[in-house]
Amino acid sequence: MDEEYRKIKKVNQSSLKKILTSPQAYIKARDRIEPDITPEHFVFGRLVDDMLLSPKTIMDKYYVMREDNVSDTVKSIVRYVYDYVKSEEILPFIDIKLNTVILDACKTYDYQPRWKDDTKISKIQVLGEAYFNILSVTKGMTIIQEDEYNKAVICVTAMKNDRYIKKYFVKSDTIESIDRFIVQFKIGELECKGELDKVHIDHGEKTIQPIDFKYTGKSVLGFNYDFWKYRYDFQGAFYTIGLLKNSKIRALLLDGYELLPFQYIVVEKDMNNLPMIFQFTDEVLNIGKFGGTLENGRKLMGVKQAIEKYNYHTVVSNWDYPMEYEESNGIVELKM
């Protein structure tokens, strides 16, 4: 994610989508501060994104660590201690002043609760000192295991050489491929922002192809399930609305260019299958925009309903209960 994009104080699709769950879910997403410990799959996806879209930043943003046989629990404890040290005086990991912090971390992560305190402290110091030192010299960098880094390289290579996907990475005089394309727009009175992974403009064919990359630890063949589970239809619809309101894209459309259906390019972390392209249909786009019912009977709300909920809670200045509950005077009628 681009630093310029992070600084824009407007609503993104990820937080707006949460209002479909509850107003409080939206508030939590809107006010979320990115944690120091990011889930592994998000780190991997961010690494592959940077390799694809910002390769020159890799050496500044990531530290590749060789296999160390240190458990995730021990690493979490060491990070806990390191975060404490960052806010206090700089101390070596094996320092009596940190013993209490180590024990607090062990309690937080339920590390060997039956061991004596001295035993826990000694074990963590032995296992975690090298990792602590790495954290100290790589301030601000993301630490990633060597095997994870190698998998990311394979994923990037696979996409850039894939029979159907490599065209999006080929340079030519008629191709304008914009990575991390930022859109800022309004839906009604709501100020919105979005960052598309790639907007591929073919000036020869006069087409505009919006693209987002997704990474999965499961089979790429099951993406259709994840698509609806994580409401990527909402994301694609939100970005499409933003593109149609963008001055550069609007100028191209007026000049006869065609905005092609939104595409997700999906790659498996373990590469048991080659990466694949998944493309929106008009029906999928409309569900993302306006809501609708899937073939299995599941009813979904879209960007339109999310905006309605946002506007309602903004006007009444009450984010405690869902809009429907407020409008029914605090009663939910049970149905068969």
Q: What is the mean pLDDT of the chain?
A: 92
Residue 49 in tokens: 């994104």
The model's pTM is: 0.86
Tell me what pLDDT residue 34 has.
45
Tell me what pLDDT residue 173 has.
95
Low-confidence spans in the chain with pLDDT less than 50: 33-37
Tell me what pLDDT residue 35 has.
45
What are residue 182's DSSP bridge partners?
195
Tell me what pLDDT residue 95 has.
83
End-to-end alpha-carbon separation of the chain, Å? 46
What are residue 265's DSSP bridge partners?
213, 277
Asked whether the beta carbons of 75 and 69 are under 8 A apart, the reply is no
Asked whether the beta carbons of 199 and 206 are under 8 A apart, the reply is no
Tell me what pLDDT residue 89 has.
63
Tell me what pLDDT residue 1 has.
59
Tell me what pLDDT residue 90 has.
65
Give the span between the Cα atoms of 80 and 38, in whole angstroms. Answer: 13
Give the span between the Cα atoms of 310 and 234, in whole angstroms. Answer: 15
Tell me what pLDDT residue 232 has.
97
Tell me what pLDDT residue 163 has.
97
